[in-house]
Structure 1
Amino acid sequence: MKIKANCQIAGIGIYFPRQIVTSQELMREIKSEENFGIAENWINEVCGIDERRVASAEELPSILAIRAAENALQDSGVQPSEIDAVIFCGISREWLEPSVAHKVQHEMGCTNAICFDVSNACHGFMNGILLADNLMQCSDATHVLVVAGENLTDITFDYVAKLRNKTAEFQKVLGTLTVGDSGAAMVLTPKNKDGRGFQYYNFHTDAKHTDLCRFSTAKEGGYDGQMVMGKISSVMIRLHASIIEQTYQSLNWKNTDIDHLICHQVGQKPHIRMADMAKVSQSIAPISYKLFGNITTATIPANLYNVKPNCGEKILIAGAGSGLSISQSGLVF
């Protein structure tokens, strides 16, 4: 689905917990060499992930989102009272109802904002941007705050215990050892006449791959599911390759026009293949997985924040999430 875009980024904020847990610490904890015959540096060498951040017990999803939102509002110069809508789009949540966006709205003082949650695995933030854009096109909204807060290392440590006790299959749950906690936020506003902002969105879903990455809470406590990273990555890249020319045509861009490739990141090899898919140099595709792991919905905003693009630069954004959903969009910063 190709959708005309009409919004731009007024501000971006990110937040990372202080605690660092290395990949070798996790592998040592599951006794990877003894239990599975896999070296302790396997995640470092094969996935390219050295460490990740882990939220404290007090850093609930809403708190991570609020910390990032404070930074985004400061970056944008927008006051909380000027926010017309708050959209929380993380995977993690501290309750089933009400929406986590309600807590963000209240704590941030966004008293004039409507609020709701949207969830679509790691692709949630791109869906949040799309909904914010559509909201601005069909209403008088001028400032929308899109936020996410992820403490998915809860799943990590549940599976560390399972792997240590050899009650889980390493290859099927490897992905649980690669995620990291974070918060991310964007303030979005309608495009100005200078044309900067999002240009087009190209969204696609192939739901027959739902079973490759799925998690639910188990009746006996903890989590039940699998994250088959090799297959997920292969499908993700194949789907992106199938629509990339369509995206370039809609944007009227060539691969040589791209200044930055900002894409979802699950590890080293898929990241390299994503650059190849877009026919761009790996040097323009910033890396977050090495020090932060797979930061799920926060990946796109975190990498945009760290790149700090120059005014007028062209950015290709490639999102993805289990299910499997992908998107490609062009952004003129």
Structure 2
Amino acid sequence: MSTTERGSRMEALGAHIPARTLTTRELTGRMETLRDVDVQRITGVAERRVADPDPAAGEDSFTMALSAARDALAASRYEAADLDIVISASITRFKDGGRFVFEPSFAGSLARELGALSAIHFDVSNACAGMMTGVYVLDRMIRSGAVRTGLVVSGEQATRVADTAAREMSDSYDPQFASLSVGDSGAAVILDRATDEADRIHYIELLTCSEYSHLCMGMPSDRTEGIALYTDNKKMHDKDRLALWPRFHKDLLAKAGRDFRDEHFDYVVQHQVGTRFIDYVNQTGEREFGAALPTSLAVVERYGNTATTSHFLTLREHLRAGTARPGSTFLLVPAASGVVTGAMSVTITNMGV
């Protein structure tokens, strides 16, 4: 394969799913102010997984990322020492008993724990599009010939913001409402060079509209100890925001002389915000493209919104369960604070899960 034709593929997927389950009704049952609000009906999230709160269990953002990376390596033909690069994309960075860690980098610490001692390593931060951004960077590095294989990994202990919301929310219009839909998990993907069209990332492109960054902000709570997520759901998910993806994607395809029907997607994976969001954004896509969308894959009902890990957790769960066919072409659509959107087209046939 020539340098101009060189591309990347998804070689293996891994995940860490905490054993502890918390239902939406259990979560909202702690909140006197929301006793009459059916949060499960509004979000579509019946339950989510929660990292074990026992310090002895040691389950946090870092250990979930490490477990997911090991799971991916177990499904891969590569060993950790074969990795040229490790990219970490966690938003939440809890480690060593609940400390929020900025240095040393998660990627460096993960590489050392895994045994990828010669790998380049760095963290990326792009809200819920973090893992997609890591894949974007790694895909470009493989295409350029800078590296041959690498790992993108994330661990998200997002339910910390749900705990804050449960303490602080006054009503269903509170900007912390979206925090009630989150869940914890880890996910990892290994990329290497593509050798044929049966396993290939055809394209991945991202768009950031920073003028909307104020609509969803994670930060220390302004009322109690802990981290909080403040989201203007009405503006974040209005028709103009939802139309950013299909309009960007349509322009991207037009530049290549194609339209949406030419892509022959078998499945679409939206960011797992909630069932209503997924339905609305798919409907918006159909209107903008003037074409039916393929089967939409989701795990949000069982796992909630797992932030950066959501697309890759969804892929792994459906491929492993057989509810997504090998040999299919998938469309992954990010939707992140920023606002970040875009499109990733990938065909997956022989991937370890």
Structure 1 pair 282/230, CA: closer, same or farther in 2 (3 Å)? farther
1:155 paired with 2:157, answer: no
Mapping for residues 137-286 of structure 1, pairs under 5 Å: 137-163=143-169, 166=170, 170-194=173-197, 196-218=199-221, 221-223=225-227, 225-234=229-238, 235-249=240-254, 250=256, 252=258, 254-255=260-261, 257-279=264-286, 284-286=295-297
Q: Which deviates more from structure 2 when the two are superposed, residues 10-19 or residues 308-317?
A: 308-317
Give the partner amino acid of 2:235: K
1:134 equivalent among 140, 154, 161 = 140
* Per-residue Cα deviation, 1:299-323 (whole angstroms, up to 9, x for no partner): 1111111222444322111112101
Q: Which runs of 5+ in 1 are unaligned?
A: none
* Per-residue Cα deviation, 1:255-298 (whole angstroms, up to 9, x for no partner): 47110101112111111122223337677111111011111111
Contact 2:13 2:316 in 1 (8 A): yes
User: Residues of 2 paired with 1:5 and 1:124: CA distance?
Assistant: 24
User: Residues of 2 paired with 1:215 and 1:139: CA distance?
Assistant: 36
1:330 is paired with a residue of what secondary structure?
A: strand
User: Residues of 1 paired with 2:77 and 2:210: CA distance?
Assistant: 40
Give the partner amino acid of 1:27: T
Contact 1:215 1:226 in 2 (8 A): yes
TM-score (norm 2): 0.84
User: Residues of 2 paired with 1:282 and 1:137: CA distance?
Assistant: 29
1:86 is paired with a residue of what secondary structure?
A: strand
Give the partner amino acid of 1:13: G
Structure 1 pair 140/206, CA: closer, same or farther in 2 (3 Å)? closer
Paired position in structure 2 for 1:59: 59
User: Residues of 2 paired with 1:251 and 1:184: CA distance?
Assistant: 35
User: Residues of 2 paired with 1:319 and 1:183: CA distance?
Assistant: 17
Give how far 1:116 is off: 0.8
1:77 is paired with a residue of what secondary structure?
A: coil
Give how far 1:62 is off: 1.4
Structure 1 pair 68/134, CA: closer, same or farther in 2 (3 Å)? same
User: Residues of 1 paired with 2:257 and 2:65: CA distance?
Assistant: 31
Task: Flag the structure with higher helix content.
Answer: 1
User: Residues of 2 paired with 1:7 and 1:251: CA distance?
Assistant: 23
1:44 paired with 2:55, answer: no
2:148 is paired with a residue of what secondary structure?
A: coil
1:326 paired with 2:330, answer: no
Contact 1:5 1:133 in 2 (8 A): no
Contact 2:60 2:157 in 1 (8 A): yes
Contact 2:265 2:294 in 1 (8 A): no
User: Residues of 2 paired with 1:224 and 1:302: CA distance?
Assistant: 24
Q: 4+ residue runs of structure 1 moved beyond 4 angstroms?
A: 280-283
Structure 1 pair 290/251, CA: closer, same or farther in 2 (3 Å)? farther
Paired position in structure 2 for 1:105: 111
User: Residues of 2 paired with 1:218 and 1:273: CA distance?
Assistant: 30
TM-score (norm 1): 0.89
Give the partner amino acid of 1:23: T
2:182 is paired with a residue of what secondary structure?
A: coil
Q: Which deviates more from structure 2 when the two are superposed, residues 117-126 or residues 305-314?
A: 305-314
1:124 equivalent among 130, 153, 156 = 130
User: Residues of 2 paired with 1:5 and 1:264: CA distance?
Assistant: 28
Give how far 1:127 is off: 0.3
Give the partner amino acid of 2:334: G
1:305 is paired with a residue of what secondary structure?
A: helix
Contact 2:268 2:294 in 1 (8 A): no
User: Residues of 2 paired with 1:283 and 1:196: CA distance?
Assistant: 19
Give how far 1:44 is off: 1.3
Q: Which runs of 5+ in 2 are unaligned?
A: 95-100, 349-353
Give how far 1:223 is off: 3.0
Contact 1:10 1:188 in 2 (8 A): yes
Give the partner amino acid of 1:111: L
Number of positions where the alignment pairs a residue of Structure 1 with one of Structure 2: 322
2:341 is paired with a residue of what secondary structure?
A: strand
* Per-residue Cα deviation, 1:80-109 (whole angstroms, up to 9, x for no partner): 110111100010113111111112111111
